[in-house]
Amino acid sequence: MKMQNDEIIRKINQLLIDEIEIEQDQISPSAELKKDLGIDSLDFVDLFVIIENNFGFKLKAEEMANVKTLQDFYNYIGNKVNSN
Amino acid sequence: MNHRVVITGMGIYSVIGKNLDEVRDSLYKGKSGIILDSHRKEIGFRSGLTGMVERPLLKGILDRRLRVGLPVQGEYAYISTLEALKTSNIDDDFLHSREVGILFGNDSSALPVVESTDILRNKKDTMMIGSGYIFQSMNSTVSMNLSVIFKLRGVNFTVSGACASGSHAIGIGYLLIRQGLQEVIICGGAQEINPEATASFDALNAFSIRESEPEKASRPFDRDRDGLVPSGGAATLILESYESAIKRGATIYGEIVSYGFSSNGEHISLPNVDGPVRAMQMALKEGDIRSNEIDYISAHATSTVAGDSNEAQAIDMLFHDSRPLVSSTKSMTGHEMWMGGASEVIYSILMMRNSFVAPNINFENPDEFSKKLNIPSTTQSVGFSTFLSNSFGFGGTNSSLIIRKFTS
């Protein structure tokens, strides 16, 4: 069953808040993961675990290289979820 | 030039209290921190007895990145270090502008090793382990994490010397300051409390099985002891050069006079008399202290027949004439292992500053060796000014610290 985009966005936002402890007011589609949200290389290691546990697929480092903003991340996760 | 080394801060997170005031009261009352953990029995432990203290809640206090690499003994050590820095009146500016070091005693971090290996075995993918376990798993986890949390810029490593780790950490810190290589070092010891850390120790039949009376299970020097009780927590002391302490007007809780050490050179787990004797003799000689100047001995005595009786003989050999008060706070705390050498210095300083010697609880009947020592089973209201603290460990490692009331 396909997930709606807004459902994916809501779920990602909640995981970022609960698991990575990003502040709610930092969340915006244009926010850059590294620069604005402060997600560093170690946090990406944890995102790998979080995404697999919650969306059922493995992030690929080479694909994540093109993900700069939160909107990019929503799109990447959405495409992965709905292409399976 | 040798520098005098003083203690200017202390913090404790223990099974008999989560701060200095609580611990002082427990020591005075002879309160036990031992419980029966039914979970240990369910998973196959011979003894379910353990010291127990709740895990600190650090969410909202420490950032996630600083928490995820911190194992439980690191959490205890963070709390004890906060208290130590507060009592030493050292603030962030001091930490960031000076070369403050850290030397902690820690000799395992079992739970994160087990948990991360479980994940690998279940998921068959190392990427599912996440970022925190590597920093939680290493023996240097406490010094590694605290040096980042407190932004320390001085010496930074962990001392692993079995159940004498915390004492050796203080000893090494003392030597570095005495030689003028550091001015301030955060020293201590930390010990995780969980079944994963002690399962293989339980396998040695070394733990008390007096499960019907947990508070009576740890009974160092008592004729009817049947083994030790594992325990844990964390203890932190701020070691500082006399010059630095005076310059900033710090409260001085005690002065480290000397550090003696030795190795038994014999069995991996069976203690002897000679090794502890040589460590205590070295401490006396290095500190230029006569045996009759020692008012109180904080014994390592863990409540095992072999350990207690060998230490009792060693103490009797050196202190037969003066017969100072001797007690083991492990009767209340259980065996705090990597932490014990540091926490027991704090326990003794709390007694020294409050003019009492805590009871060696559960000491009801001496054996042929402990009857030669002056072991109080009740609280002694007595002032004292110099104590010796023993810590011994597997492999025959021995550490003896002599500490006295500060006088300028």
Q: Does a structural domain hold residue A35?
A: yes
State the pLDDT at residue A22: 97
In a domain, A54, yes or no: yes
A52 in B contact zone (CB under 8 Å)? yes
- Given a cut of 70, is residue A24 above it in pLDDT? yes
pTM: 0.97
Q: Are strands B254-263 and B325-327 parallel, antiparallel or unpaired?
A: unpaired
pLDDT tens for each residue of B185-228: 999 999 999 999 999 999 999 999 999 999 999 999 999 999 99
Structural domain that includes position A62: 29-84
Residue A61 lies in a domain: yes
Give mean pLDDT, residues B345-351.
Answer: 98
CATH number at residue A54: 1.10.1200.10
Of B316, B313, B340, the closest CA to residue B329 belongs to B340
> Nearest CB to B128: which of A21, A40, A49?
A49
Q: Is residue A34 part of a domain?
A: yes
Q: In the predicted model, what is the mean pLDDT of residues B91-95?
A: 96
Q: What is the ipTM of this complex?
A: 0.92
In a domain, A14, yes or no: no
CB atoms within 10 A of CB B358: 29
Tell me, what's the pLDDT at A2?
Answer: 66
Among this protein's residues, is B168 annotated catalytic? no
Is A10 among the domain residues? no
Contact A21 B129 (CB under 8 A): no
Q: Report the side by side order of strands in the sheet with B184-191.
A: B156-159, B101-105, B184-191, B233-241, B5-14, B254-263, B397-404, B386-393, B296-298, B325-327
Q: Is residue A2 part of a domain?
A: no
What chain B holds in terms of domains, given with CATH numbers, is: 5-247 (3.40.47.10), 258-404 (3.40.47.10)
Helix axes A5-18, A41-55, angle to 10 degrees: 130
- Interface check for B63 against chain A (CB to CB < 8 A): the answer is yes
How many domains are there within chain A? 1
Is A69 domain-assigned? yes
